[in-house]
Amino acid sequence: MTQRTEIDTVIEARWIIPVEPAGMVLHNHAIAIDKGVIQSILPNDKASLQFAPREHMVLSQHALIPGLINLHTHAAMSLMRGLADDLPLIEWLNNHIWPTEIKHVNADFVLDGTKLACAEMLKGGTTCFNDMYYFPEASVQAALTVGMRGSIGMSVINFPTAYASDADDYLAKGLAMRDEYRHHPLLSFCFAPHAPYTVSDKTLTNILTYAEQLDLPIHIHLHETDVEVTNSLETFGLRPIARLHQLGLLSPSLIAVHMIHLTREEIELTGNQGCSIAHCPSANLKLASGFAPISALLNQGINIGLGSDGAASNNRLDMFEEMRLAALLAKAQSGRAEELPAHQALQMATLNGAKALGLGERIGSLVKGKMADITAVDFSSLELSPCYDPISHLVYSAGRQHVSHVWVDGKILLNEGKFTTLDERELLHRAAFWRDRIRIKKNG
């Protein structure tokens, strides 16, 4: 009898949806994991003959998918969820969000807010998030405490905050943080200039130089509102994309967030330059920013991932909702029911996000040799019955409430809906603390 190989974990499931190849569904298969890496995906009966796992889990009514990737968020802003709703973006920022940040945002705020966001994302099957916020060292500590994978933004904006005094100070602090943590297996980094209207040409040029030297992505809000475009024309004589192109920022390293108000020429330019896009359908709708021309962007072969934006403008960090909305909006805009099918929406929420972050060789799909970032979705409930096509169900029927288990780097962080690394009561306590503090100052 052939000796079985000892490994850490085997997870059996009714379905495995690897994302690569596109649209594939494996029935009654298992994932074999050792030292955080997927060793094999094979039929259940073969797994039992080949491997001797220290942990063996049977999920007979579940689908296993790659951990979802939130390509754009401001995690700590979870502590401002519902603070100022039903307002246009510029009024929301100028009169509510930025004044609150001036009064309250510090390292403790970011640590507590990011932990809260990580918990929400983890419960919804998200294993990796691309963050843009102040005090990123605190975001690092939150992600590592939870055990989630984080792409941490080195935020830059051309006005002083409690975090930094000017653009050079933001960059210096961000680079020091990146140097300290750059070898951590759960962390990667982006430059994160806020937007063309809050960052100068000189600063953008400096960021580009650093990004090229360090081979890091640049993550920036772009063409989010028509006011942004109009103001750019008045101030610079150029639309924002043209300005970034003139400065040399349009490249495969750019992650452009929102990308709503675009001409046909700008869509072609974005595709020709190999940029990625973080599509945030819920936030775009809630702030009435508009409808990103997703069909036209996809037709240009542009890599599009999905993001939630922050909980202050969404108001939830729910990648299942983003998948569903992205698919439905693309169909309505194009007038074609076949536009952005379910398997493509799932790919946008997983592999496409990984590719945008430069992590496509490590995460984003369930294949041998990649890290074991895995989400299990329980299909046993009445509202998911019957199931003819599990991929369709994931996008159009399932929700974050159906997520039962989550692994990052092969470590289980959510087990039957319960956290393994977090105290939920403490999270609620800290959220209430900040709510009361902000409410008193806001009303005072």
Residue 444 has pLDDT above 60, yes or no: no
- Taking a C-beta distance cutoff of 8 angstroms, is the pair 75, 28 a contact? no
**For 98-111, what is each residue's pLDDT tens digit?**
899 999 999 999 99
**For 366-389, what is each residue's pLDDT tens digit?**
999 999 999 999 999 999 999 999
What per-residue confidence (pLDDT) applies to 70? 98
- Taking a C-beta distance cutoff of 8 angstroms, is the pair 317, 79 a contact? no
pLDDT category at 442 given cuts 50, 70, 90 is low
What per-residue confidence (pLDDT) applies to 93? 85
Residue 407 has pLDDT above 70, yes or no: yes
Query: Which are the contacts of 357, defined by CB distance < 8 A and separation ≥ 6?
Result: 69, 71, 128, 130, 151, 188, 190, 217, 255
What strand order describes the sheet that includes 254-258?
68-73, 126-131, 149-156, 187-193, 218-222, 254-258, 276-279, 303-306
Residue 178 has pLDDT above 80, yes or no: yes
Q: Which residue in 217, 153, 146 sits closest to 360, CA to CA? A: 217
The encoded tokens of residue 200 equal: 């100068």
What per-residue confidence (pLDDT) applies to 279? 98
Q: Which whole number is the average pLDDT over 131-147?
A: 98
pLDDT category at 90 given cuts 50, 70, 90 is confident
Q: What letter does residue 400 receive in the DSSP assignment?
A: G
Residue 339 has pLDDT above 80, yes or no: yes
**For 205-262, what is each residue's pLDDT tens digit?**
999 999 999 999 999 999 999 999 999 999 999 999 999 999 999 999 999 999 999 9
Long-range contacts of 284-287 (CB under 8 A, 24+ apart): 284/224, 284/258, 284/260, 285/325, 286/85, 286/313, 286/314, 286/315, 287/87, 287/88, 287/89, 287/92, 287/313
Its sign, for the CA torsion 75, 78, 83, 87, is positive
Residue 1 has pLDDT above 80, yes or no: no
| Mean pLDDT computed over every residue of the chain | 96
Residue 443 has pLDDT above 90, yes or no: no
Q: Which whole number is the average pLDDT over 117-132?
A: 98
pTM, two decimals, is: 0.97
Query: Which are the contacts of 7, defined by CB distance < 8 A and separation ≥ 6?
Result: 32, 33, 34, 39, 51, 52, 53, 54
What domains, with CATH codes, occur in the chain? Answer: 5-66+371-409 (2.30.40.10), 68-356 (3.20.20.140)
**For 302-317, what is each residue's pLDDT tens digit?**
999 999 999 999 999 9
What per-residue confidence (pLDDT) applies to 174? 98
| pLDDT cut 70: percent of the chain above it | 99
What per-residue confidence (pLDDT) applies to 92? 87
| pLDDT cut 90: percent of the chain above it | 96
